[in-house]
């Protein structure tokens, strides 16, 4: 069966997390992703190693289904090979510091001249403005894009999310933009420049907080649990952030993740109160409308917690789910890695690596009925240099240019 992006060749100049996640998605959709590495390799091959002298999980989990080509782009020969790659490619993706490729002589104008059909995609920390030349990391993008100021509890500090929304989240943004550019090229015949700033992507994911900022101008936000409101949307702990009140409650067991999250929609008020033994509140004049209940959310979730503390989180989930209460157990990373449902759907996949042995990785989050994903291991450094050069170039420079420890 053919793949969605079969026949698309991607020159992958990315490193660390955001760029490699994007190009890995392209590879999973069938693109031929050629990862360009210096003789020393992507820095993440050696970062956060759990085993000595093998590629780290940081690298192996972000670079599946790719081919590795070692090039010294500071040499004339390396630059010529790169030009030939660009001539025969559909997409170039990079996430270097601003101006890095320009200094190597590959500006957008030059790239367009080499291949007018090429889509040149870049992911940077920031767009034009006061932060344009600042260094960007995941947490810095969250800090400057609105996530940190609205995450955490109102009596605590701004907090970063556990999910990598700045890196992996923006990788998905860039993946979508590249696919859109590829589709537009089918009509125009032209490539184009595609850019995303991590800060911009964070702001997009904080859209509902910007909604609430404008609502705040007309008065306090009733669905928030906060007692006081200033000029900006406050941190609101585990409040749902939507139109229905939600909160995390403790469960039996007392472990750090023995918790359940639930949302109290108006239709489930009566069955929920009856399930937890609080029938007297179903038609109580202080609780009989959603608007009245907003004033008592702390008390309501406290009563729910009294009930959940008598049940393990999966037991509480099953009972509440049976009466249509939106809820879910808080699952930790150990539970997720061994989750049988994730294994069955291909979201947790075991991969065999020639140096580090078997490891688990996260699979593709979206499923296409006509483009199934088969995850293969990440490449060893320079593993496909001879193969790629033989496909693209005259045979004469292959040995000289593909030596991993050269330079």
Active site residues: 167
Q: Using the Cα atoms of residue 104, residue 107, residue 112 and residue 118 in order, give the sign of their dihedral.
A: positive
| Alpha-carbon span 281 to 287, nearest angstrom | 6
Q: Do 157 and 139 contact (CB within 8 A), yes or no? A: no
Task: Tell me the three state secondary structure of residue 92.
Answer: strand
Sort 154 into a burial class: Cβ within 10 Å, 0-12 / 13-18 / 19+.
middle
Please state, as a whole number, how many other Cβ atoms lie within 10 Å of the Cβ of residue 361.
19
By C-alpha distance, which of 211, 236, 238 is closest to 224?
A: 236
Please state, as a whole number, how many other Cβ atoms lie within 10 Å of the Cβ of residue 2.
9
Q: Transcribe 184-209 into DSSP letters.
A: HHHHH----EEEEEHHHHHHHHTHHH
Helix (H) or strand (E) holding 85: helix 76-87
> Which residues are within 8 A (CB) of 401 and not within 5 positions of it... i.e. 6 or more apart?
70, 71, 72, 77, 78, 81, 385, 389
Query: What strands lie across the sheet with 32-37, from one edge to the other?
Result: 67-70, 32-37, 9-13, 91-94, 119-124, 193-197
Residue 130's Cα: distance from chain center in Å?
26
Query: What strands lie across the sheet with 259-263, from one edge to the other?
Result: 246-250, 259-263, 327-329
Task: Tell me the three state secondary structure of residue 402.
Answer: coil
Two tokens, residue 284: 């109580």
| Alpha-carbon span 154 to 231, nearest angstrom | 14
Helix (H) or strand (E) holding 352: strand 348-353
């Amino acid at each position: 069966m053919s793949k969605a992006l079969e026949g698309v060749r991607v020159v992958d100049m990315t490193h660390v997390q955001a760029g490699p996640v994007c190009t890995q998605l392209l590879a999973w959709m069938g693109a031929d992703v050629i990862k360009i590495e210096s003789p020393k390799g992507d820095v993440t091959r050696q970062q956060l190693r759990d085993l000595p002298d093998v590629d780290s999980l940081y690298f192996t989990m972000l670079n599946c289904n790719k081919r590795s080509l070692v090039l010294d782009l500071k040499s004339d020969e390396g630059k010529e090979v790169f030009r030939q790659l660009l001539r025969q490619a559909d997409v170039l993706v990079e996430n270097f510091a601003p101006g890095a490729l320009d200094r190597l002589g590959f500006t957008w104008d030059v790239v367009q001249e080499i291949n007018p059909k090429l889509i040149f995609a870049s992911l940077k920390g920031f767009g034009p403005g006061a932060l344009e030349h600042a260094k960007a990391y995941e947490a810095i993008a969250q800090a400057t894009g609105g996530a940190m100021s609205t995450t955490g509890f109102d009596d605590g500090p701004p907090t970063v999310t556990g999910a990598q929304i700045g890196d992996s989240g923006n990788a998905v943004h860039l993946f979508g933009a590249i696919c859109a550019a590829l589709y537009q090229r089918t009509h125009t015949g032209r490539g184009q420049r595609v850019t995303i700033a991590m800060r911009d992507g964070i702001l997009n994911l904080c859209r509902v907080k910007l909604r609430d900022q404008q609502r705040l101008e007309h008065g306090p936000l009733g669905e928030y649990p906060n007692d006081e409101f200033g000029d900006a949307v406050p941190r609101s702990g585990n409040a749902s952030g939507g139109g229905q009140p939600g909160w995390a409650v403790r469960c039996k067991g007392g472990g750090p993740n023995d918790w359940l999250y639930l949302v109290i929609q108006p239709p489930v008020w009566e069955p929920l109160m009856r399930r937890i033994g609080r029938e007297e509140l179903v038609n109580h004049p202080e609780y009989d409308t959603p608007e009245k209940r907003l004033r008592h959310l702390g008390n309501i979730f406290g009563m729910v917690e009294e009930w959940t503390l008598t049940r393990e989180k999966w037991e509480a989930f099953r009972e509440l789910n049976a009466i249509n209460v939106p809820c879910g157990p808080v699952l930790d990373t150990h539970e997720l890695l061994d989750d049988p449902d994730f294994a069955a759907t291909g979201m947790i996949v075991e991969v065999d690596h020639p140096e580090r042995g078997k490891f688990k990785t996260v699979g593709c989050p979206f499923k296409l009925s006509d483009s199934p994903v088969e995850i293969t291991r990440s490449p060893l450094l320079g593993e496909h240099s001879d193969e790629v050069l033989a496909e693209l170039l005259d045979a004469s420079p292959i040995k000289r240019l593909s030596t991993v420890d050269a330079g």
